[in-house]
Amino acid sequence: MGENVPVAPVLELLAGNRAAISARPPRLNLPVVLRRAASYYIRGLRSEREGIMTTRRQILALAGAAPAWLASTTSAEAAPNFRRMGGAPTAFSIRSSGGRGRGGFGGRGPGAAPGGRGTGPAPGGPPPFDIIEHCHNIGLGGVQMSRIPSTDPEAVKKLRARIEEYGFHLIIDVPWPQPGGDLSNFEAQVKAVKEAGATATHAAMTGRRYEDFAAVEPWKAMFERCQKQMETAEPILRKYKLPVGIENHKGWRAAEQAAWLKRAGSEYLGVCLDFGNNISLCEDPMDTLNTLLPHILFAHIKDMAVEEYEDGFLLSEVPMGEGFLDIKQMVQILRKKDPNMIFDLEMITRDPLKIPVYTARYWATFDDSYSPLPGRDLAKVLALVKKNKPAKPLPRIAGLAPEAQVKAEDDYNNQCIAWAKQNLDM
């Protein structure tokens, strides 16, 4: 780790006008360059209050991105810079939920106002987590929210104003409708998400199939139900021109998802590519990417590490650069498909997941005719596990005090952000 340094001198170097800074960078009457420089300083102050230490190495990584934004001198609010990495809510699940009631996965907890900004501490509790402000403070360029805080038109305008102020890209999840049910709430949600300025919406839809199902038929019913849900939702998504990225969320293999989307044939049904999830289903990450590539709208970017254990292998998110994924090549392929491809950081801080490929339960949902898992894929992943032994112990948070868990999450995220700025032009 680098030596801890104060953030203020960085601002003086970048902007040369510290006197213009108040408690928050002003929206008006200052050049965009100065406002952005001010935001870096305020980000540092807020990070210190949140217990995030800024190191010399991280400061240099942030400063390395300065030429790109210093060159932008327009007086208008910054348009989204899609080359900047954003943040997915699960990257902050510990900070957002620890001691904060139910505010966890979307930046709106008790006491939060429409637009994701807290109105003050909830009675008897700490301030609500504000995912938009947190992503800005730690140097990210966009945000995914797990829900829109309110469909009230004025609240939606305020949310959009915050997003535009920071030049963020925005993705917001919505509750998905049931076939044959009332669609009015779903349409209101989609309309509000679009008006808030979201590029897309997101759907996870599943848990881990090898944990949730003990036979193929219940899994098959779930998979077909998900397809019907999206078939129901598609006309409304089309009406508002809001595509959905359906995540490969350990529920189906890439070939199954690609075949589904090809059958659907809609530009509004696509993929949120998770860089690492399908390793749990015995897929090489590059195979997952290439199979889903025609349908990918945006991505959850991360690095992964693996380790053998008695029933199979352990799978864990790790700071970028410490795992075995070829992140640079994956990003290059996705940017070739779409130069404005959105990448949201999803460094989930947790104990390693157990992938019990040597147990009968793991194989219960894989049917040779409906949902095959070829032996060559298993062999390929087991070889990958054996070849890529972790250089250091996998992250673990069980048994840590809440403050230590928050610190671990902050540290891992900061390492990812610094690595992405240095290696991925994010």
Question: How far apart are alpha carbons 45 and 380 in whole angstroms?
Answer: 47
So what's the pLDDT on residue 315?
98
With a CB cutoff of 8 Å and minimum separation 6, the contacts of 72 are: 32, 33, 78
Cβ 389 vs Cβ 287: under 8 Å: no
Q: Which residues of 310-322 are buried (b: 16+ CB within 10 A; e: fewer)?
A: eebbbbbbbbbbb
The pTM (predicted TM-score) of the whole model is: 0.81
Reading across the β-sheet that carries 201-203, which strands appear in turn?
169-172, 142-145, 86-87, 342-345, 296-301, 269-274, 244-247, 201-203
Cβ 103 vs Cβ 129: under 8 Å: yes
So what's the pLDDT on residue 167?
97
- Answer whether residue 108 shows pLDDT above 70: no
Question: How far apart are alpha carbons 227 and 179 in whole angstroms?
Answer: 10
81: pLDDT confidence band, cut at 50, 70 and 90? confident
Q: What is the mean pLDDT of residues 2-18?
A: 42
Question: How far apart are alpha carbons 274 and 7 in whole angstroms?
Answer: 33
Q: What is the mean pLDDT of residues 406-420?
A: 98
Looking at per-residue pLDDT, the higher value among 190 and 14 belongs to 190
So what's the pLDDT on residue 99?
33
- Max distance between CA atoms of the chain, in angstroms, equals 69
Residues 30-70 pLDDT 10s? 434 444 444 544 445 444 444 554 455 544 544 444 433 33
If one counts every other C-beta atom within 10 angstroms of the C-beta of residue 375, the result is 9
Using DSSP, state whether 375 is helix, strand or coil.
helix
CA 365 distance to own-chain centroid: 28
Tokens of 395: 């992250």
So what's the pLDDT on residue 122?
52
- Answer whether residue 303 shows pLDDT above 80: yes
Residues 93-107 pLDDT 10s? 999 986 333 333 333
Residues 130-150 pLDDT 10s? 999 999 999 999 999 999 999
The least confident of 17-31, 55-69, 299-313 is 17-31
Closest to 170 (Cα-Cα) out of 194, 138, 204: 194
Residues 343-365 pLDDT 10s? 999 999 999 999 999 999 999 99
Task: Go through the domains of the chain in sequence order and give each one's CATH number.
Answer: 1-76 (no CATH), 81-423 (3.20.20.150)
